[in-house]
Amino acid sequence: SQTIHQWPATLVQPVGSPLSLECTVEGTSNPNLYWYRQAAGRGLQLLFYSVGIGQISSEVPQNLSASRPQDRQFILSSKKLLLSDSGFYLCAWSVRGGTSARETQYFGPGTRLLVL
């Protein structure tokens, strides 16, 4: 069966410090991968998605970047964190090539980031 891992689970970082959040998927190959942010009282916001190694699409301009160095590894990074980067970061995967009408995204456990 497929599983998705995220770490760390919780992170407290000072403003201006770098960030690296990691997401890995097991039990599947060639997945679509996604990074979302969920701010308090707000809906999930898609940050990045990837359909393959080295292929990253950014949904919103921001202080963050993403990379996919391996097929089942997705990394969210920042060189200098801002207070507004605080939130709950979720990684998700879906089957590549499936029809969007029935596509299911499977979410990881999330990373709670607090920037002070």
Partner 1 sequence: KNQVEQSPQSLIILEGKNCTLQCNYTVSPFSNLRWYKQDTGRGPVSLTIMTFSENTKSNGRYTATLDADTKQSSLHITASQLSDSASYICVVRGGATNKLIFGTGTLLAVQP
Q: Is position 103 an interface residue for partner 1 (rule: CB under 8 A)?
A: yes
Helix, strand, coil % over all residues of the chain, rounded to 5: 5, 55, 40
Among 44, 53, 56, 95, binds partner 1 (CB under 8 A): 44
User: Residue holding tokens 């499977």?
Assistant: 106
104 to 17, 68, 95: CA distances (angstroms)? 35, 21, 8
105 lines the binding site for partner 1 (CB under 8 A) = yes
Which one of residues 90, 97, 98, 113 is an interface residue with partner 1 (CB under 8 A)?
90
Binding residue for partner 1, selected from 98, 109, 114, 116, defined by CB under 8 A: 109
Q: Which amino acid type is present at position 57? A: S
For residue 113, the tally of other CB atoms under 10 A from its CB is: 21
In angstroms, give the least distance from the CB of 14 to partner 1: 23
Q: Tell me which residues touch partner 1 (CB under 8 A).
A: 4, 41-46, 88, 90, 92, 100-110, 112
